[in-house]
Amino acid sequence: MALKAAFFSFNGIIINDEDIRQQLSDQLLLAENLRPDADDYSQVCLGRSDRACLQGLLQQRGRTVSSEALTKLLDQKNADYQSWLERLDKLPLYPGLEDLIFRCRAAQIKMVIVTGSERPVVTSVLNRAELSQHFSAVVAGDDISADGSKPSPDGYLKAIERLNQADATLQLQPGDCVAIEDSFAGIEAAKNAQIPVVGVAHTYPNHMLQRRATWVVDYLREIKFDWIGEKFGGERPTPNPSSGSTTAAESSLP
């Protein structure tokens, strides 16, 4: 059995944009005469789709909106996000991303983005960063329902389905994949899909991911396919004692 596919989260793995996403959500709440709260945002939104985030924030404040009204709010948030992107001289991509993509390509590992962000946002970032051509598919927030948002496995299962539809000879199964996630909800979604997951300490400290993810690293550059390969029949190397970060969690494989 070989590692065939790597599934990348988007916010928190590709681009460091959680602050602006929270700011834009706060603006929408204020426009609805509702008070934002940072703790609420962390609890309701981190790792979840934009649709699930807004729906949850509104419901916590006793506000129920129709699907059409929620879509209108999402369209406004997407437009504001696009304006933010246009003002940036340089995208806040995470260090080590391009090297990780290069190593996936060299190992002939298919790459897919699985995210709760809306497709126009993902497309804009990938096109500007000139990364679109490296990803075989994107499963975005508008591909799933609010109930199907992470920690539901829906996005990951849809990613496997799309790769298999594109190449019937691939015969991809969850155990042939690895997910790269930064949030509790994202890690849980991958494990709910029976996919081993690398937790990257971009959003939460390393120690808070230890018992959730299959492996844990501090930075993308620390993801090594040789120790991931243990799950797929390879040997685990001796950890580098000079490294100040943890490169594998003491958790069981899913």
- Residue 172 pLDDT: 96
In this structure, which amino acid lies at residue 176?
D
Q: What angle do CA 173, 175, 180 make, to 5 degrees?
A: 105
**127 in helix, strand or coil?**
helix
Percent pLDDT > 90 in the chain is 86
Q: Which domains does the chain have, with CATH numbers?
A: 5-16+93-232 (3.40.50.1000), 18-87 (1.10.150)
What is this structure's pTM?
A: 0.89
* Each residue's pLDDT tens digit, 187-201: 999 999 999 999 999
Q: Which two tokens stand for residue 141?
A: 């927030």
User: Do 154 and 162 form a contact (C-beta atoms < 8 A)?
Assistant: no
Q: Which residue has the higher pLDDT, 227 or 6?
A: 6
Does residue 7 have a pLDDT over 90?
Answer: yes
* pLDDT of 239 over the 50 cut: no
What's the mean per-residue pLDDT of the chain?
A: 90
DSSP code per residue over 146-207: STTSTTSSHHHHHHHHHHHHH-TTT---GGGEEEEE-SHHHHHHHHHTT--EEEETTSS-HH
Q: Which amino acid is at 250?
A: E
Which residues are bridge partners to 180 per DSSP?
A: 8, 198
Residue 143 has pLDDT above 50, yes or no: yes
Using the predicted structure, report yes or no on whether residue 124 has a pLDDT greater than 70: yes
With bands split at pLDDT 50, 70 and 90, how would you rate the model's confidence at 235? very low
In tens, the pLDDT along 145-183 reads 989 999 999 999 999 999 999 999 999 999 999 999 999
Structure tokens at 4: 């065939």
Element (H, E) at 32: none
Q: Dump pLDDT digits (tens) for 208-226.
A: 999 999 999 999 999 987 7
pLDDT tens, position by position, 81-103: 999 999 999 999 999 999 999 99
